[in-house]
């Protein structure tokens, strides 16, 4: 009886935690356009694309990497 209650509580906890995750992606600046050459930006875009890292290029031309992929970006571009 106690184990079924505990299991139900744990399951409920995971459902709540999963439901609270809005799924929004958060990006961090990987290469700043204002401090990098176009050659550096192009190289970063190629490496990130080859490594299938989720990134975007903002309106200023800076490369931003999805927070979840930062480790992969470091590995591919170091």
pLDDT tens per residue across span 24-46: 789 999 999 999 999 999 999 99
The neighbour count for residue 40, using CB atoms within 10 Å, is 14
What is the domain range of residue 69? 24-77
pTM of the complete model beyond 0.85 = no
Give the gyration radius of the chain's Cα atoms: 19
How many domains would you assign to the chain? 1
Residue 11 in any domain: the answer is no
Residue 6 in any domain: the answer is no
Indicate the pLDDT class of residue 19, thresholds 50, 70 and 90: low
Residue 3 in any domain: the answer is no
Q: Tokens 């979840």 sit at which residue?
A: 68
Residue 16 in any domain: the answer is no
70 or 77, which is more confident? 70
* 41 within 8 A of 15, measured Cβ to Cβ: no
Residue 43 in any domain: the answer is yes
The neighbour count for residue 65, using CB atoms within 10 Å, is 23
Residue 59 in any domain: the answer is yes
Asked whether the predicted pLDDT for residue 54 surpasses 90, the reply is: yes
Residue 52 in any domain: the answer is yes
Q: What is residue 17's predicted lDDT score, i.e. its pLDDT?
A: 61
Indicate the pLDDT class of residue 5, thresholds 50, 70 and 90: confident
Residue 14 in any domain: the answer is no
């Amino acid at each position: 009886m106690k184990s079924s209650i505990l299991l139900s509580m744990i399951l409920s906890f995971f459902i709540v935690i999963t439901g609270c995750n809005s799924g929004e992606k958060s990006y961090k600046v990987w290469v700043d356009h204002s401090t990098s050459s176009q050659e550096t930006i192009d190289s970063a875009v190629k490496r990130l694309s080859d490594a299938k890292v989720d990134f975007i290029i903002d309106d200023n031309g800076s490369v931003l990497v999805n927070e979840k992929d930062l480790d992969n970006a470091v590995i591919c571009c170091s």
